[in-house]
Structure 1
Amino acid sequence: MTHSHHDASVPRTHGPAAGRPHVHDQVDASDGGDDLLDLDGEVLEAYWGVALDRVTAAAAEGLGVVGRSPARVVDLGAGTGTGAVGLARRLPEAEVVAVDVSEPSLARVAVKAHAAGVGARVRTLVADLDTGWPDLSPIDLTWASMSLHHLADPVRSLAEVRRLTSPGGLLAVSEFDEPLRFLPDDLGIGRPGFETRALEVLSTVHAEALPNIGASWAAMLAESGWTVVDQHDVVIDERAPDHPLAGRYARAWFARLEDGLSGRLDAEDQVTLEALLDDGPQGLLHRSDLHLHGIRSLTLARA
C-alpha cells in the first residue's frame, strides 16, 4: 500500500508540520485525525501488508551480512502506528522508533504496540524534524509514509537520514500517486461528478499549502545521495468493500474534507457533502456502492 497511504489526502490548510504521517493527508491529532488514521490502517490492512512485506524483504537483502536482520528501524511521521507496529511484527529482533510531532498520536502507537505484543521493542519519540534531527544512528531501515512532503526541505532531510543510516541500509518512501476515491460518479444525489470536483478543489488547496505533494521522490532521493533500487505501485481496488468499518472510514475521510474545504465547494456540492455525512439512507454509513481505489507508490533507496 501506501498507505500508500497517498495524494488522496485530507488537507492541512494551515501549512506543513514535520514528522506527520502518512496516510491521508493529513489530519491533526488535536481534531480527531487519529481516528481516521486508525481506520485507514484497519480497512486497508492488506495493502499496508503488501508494502511492509516488500520493505522488510529488501531491508534484509541490503545489509550485507548473512542472516543480519535490521536492528534499528525508524518510522518517520508514525501517526498512530500502523507502520511502526507492522514493522515490529515482521522484524522480531528490531528496535522500532516511532517519530512524530504529535504526542497524542504517539500515545496510540504505544497502546497498539502493547496490544500486538511488541511494546518492549517499540519506543516513541516526539520531534519536529524541521527544527532538528535526533541522533538515531545507526539506522538500518527508515519507513516514511505520507510524511516527507510535510517537511520544509525534504532534500535536506533525506540527506540527514542518509547520514544516520548504516551502509546498505534502506529508506522506504510511500506516497499516493492517485488520490484515494470512494464514490461512484452518480451518487443519486446532486449532480454527477461530485468527488472529482471535490478532489480538484483539494488539489488547489494542496498546491497552496503542501507544494511537495506529487514530487518525484526518486529524483529527490538521488539528489540527497541515496541510490534508488526499486519503485513499485500498490493498487488499491476494493469494490463494495466488505470490511465492517469501510463506511466509517469513508465518512471520517469526508468529514475531514468538509473541514479542509470549508467555503470552497459550490452550494450544490456542499449540500451533497452534507447528505453524505448525514445518517440518512444516502449517507456514507449506509451506502452499498462504495469503491475504494487509488495507487500508493513505494520507492526504495539504499545508502
Structure 2
Amino acid sequence: MAHDHLIEMLDLDAEVLSAYHRDLIAWAGREAGDRPHIVDLGAGSGTGSLALARELPGARVTAVDVSPEMLAHLRSRADATGLGGRITTVEADLDQPWPEFGEVDLIWASSSMHHMADPARALASAHAALRPGGVLLIAELESFPRFLTGTADEQVEAMVHTEADKMRHDAGLHMHENWGTRASQAGFTEVVERHFDIALEPPLPAAARRYAEVTLGRMRHRLEGRADLEALDRVVAGLSSRDDLSIRTERTVWLARR
C-alpha cells in the first residue's frame, strides 16, 4: 500500500505540475542531442522515463531503481502506452557499484540524488558513466508542496512540514545540497542552475485536490508517533471537497557536462 500511494503521488506530481516537467524535459532534450541514450536514476513510478521517451522521440531510456515493484509498474505503463520498445528497466542499488549502461548521453536524476548515501561517490559514478560531452541533470525539491497557504489550516500544514523536515534530517537525507558545487568537485563543467517557483492558485482541478490528499496522507502515515496528528486527520478528511487549495513548491535544477 505504501508503494501504491508513492506511485500515485509521483504520477500526480507529473500531471499537476506538467508545465514544469515539460520545461525541464525540453531543456534536457536540447542539451542531449537528437537520439540520446538516457539513464533515469531512481526512476520510481516512471513518470520521468515515460515523459522523456514521449517528448524526445529519438531517445531510448534506461530506467534504474532499487524497487522491483516500481519497475514492474513502470514496465506496465511503458507497454500500455506503446513506449516499451524504447524503455529498458534495470534493478540496481545506486549506493553500490553501478551496472554498465553502455554509452550514455544524459543522466536524469529527478528527486533521487538526496537519497544517495554518499553523494560524492554517486556523482563520480555519474561522471564515469557519461560519454565525454554528456550531460547530467539533477532536479531537487527546495520545498515540498504546500496546499493550504492563506487558509485557516495553514499552521497545521506548517507543523507537518516541520516534523517531516526533522524526520528527513534524522534519516540522513541530503536535502538542500548545492549540487552544482558538488558536480564541479566531481569533474563536471559548464554547470548551469535554474530555480523554479511554482504557484498554482484556486480553484484547482480534481487531480490537484487528489494530489493534496495523497501527499498529506502519506506524510501523516510517515509521521505516526512523531506528532499530534488529530488536526491533520481533520484536514485530510476534508480535502476532496475544498475549493481553496493552492499549490506552492520550489524546485532547483542543475545541468552539468562531462
Provide TM-score, normalisation by structure 2.
0.94
Give the aligned partner of residue 56 of structure 1. Answer: 29
Q: CA deviation at 1:185?
A: 4.1
The runs of 5 or more residues in structure 2 that have no matched partner are none
Q: Tell whether 2:138 aligns with 1:179.
A: no
Q: CA deviation at 1:228?
A: 4.1
1:107 aligned partner, one-letter code: A
Q: SS in structure 2 opposite 1:136?
A: coil
Query: Over residues 208-253 of structure 1, what are the superposed CA-to-partner deviations in whole Å (9 max), with x where a residue is unaligned?
Result: 1134111111111111111143111122111115332111111101
CA contact (8 A) 2:180 2:191 kept: no
Deviation beyond 6 Å, 4+ runs, structure 1: none
CA contact (8 A) 1:70 1:141 kept: no
Q: SS in structure 1 opposite 2:239?
A: coil
Q: CA deviation at 1:277?
A: 2.2
2:250 aligned partner, one-letter code: I
Q: CA deviation at 1:110?
A: 1.6
Task: Name the structure where helix makes up a greater proportion of residues.
Answer: 2
Give the aligned partner of residue 103 of structure 1. Answer: 68
1:56 aligned partner, one-letter code: G
1:44 aligned partner, one-letter code: L
Q: SS in structure 1 opposite 2:241?
A: coil
* Candidates 265, 278, 284, aligned match of 2:239: 284
Q: 2-side partners of 1:208 and 1:185: how far apart?
A: 30
CA contact (8 A) 2:65 2:93 kept: yes
* Candidates 230, 234, 249, aligned match of 2:211: 249
Give the aligned partner of residue 47 of structure 1. Answer: 20
Q: CA deviation at 1:178?
A: 2.2
Query: Over residues 145-188 of structure 1, what are the superposed CA-to-partner deviations in whole Å (9 max), with x where a residue is unaligned?
Result: 1111111111111111111111110000000122321113433x
Give the aligned partner of residue 44 of structure 2. Answer: 79
Give the aligned partner of residue 201 of structure 2. Answer: 239
Q: 2-side partners of 1:241 and 1:261: how far apart?
A: 29
Q: 2-side partners of 1:237 and 1:42: how far apart?
A: 15
Provide TM-score, normalisation by structure 1.
0.80
Q: 2-side partners of 1:223 and 1:91: how far apart?
A: 30
Q: 2-side partners of 1:85 and 1:178: how far apart?
A: 25
CA contact (8 A) 1:180 1:292 kept: yes
Give the CA RMSD over aligned residues. Answer: 1.7
CA contact (8 A) 2:143 2:250 kept: yes
Q: CA deviation at 1:264?
A: 2.2
- Cα distance 1:127–1:241, how it changes in 2: closer, same or farther (>3 A)? farther
Q: CA deviation at 1:80?
A: 0.9
Q: SS in structure 1 opposite 2:209?
A: helix
Q: SS in structure 2 opposite 1:32?
A: helix
Q: SS in structure 1 opposite 2:206?
A: coil
Query: Over residues 41-76 of structure 1, what are the superposed CA-to-partner deviations in whole Å (9 max), with x where a residue is unaligned?
Result: 22222221111111111222xxxxxxxx24311000
Q: Tell whether 2:188 aligns with 1:226.
A: yes
Q: 2-side partners of 1:209 and 1:176: how far apart?
A: 17
Query: Over residues 9-68 of structure 1, what are the superposed CA-to-partner deviations in whole Å (9 max), with x where a residue is unaligned?
Result: xxxxxxxxxxxxxxxxxx952x632122122222222221111111111222xxxxxxxx
Q: CA deviation at 1:127?
A: 0.6
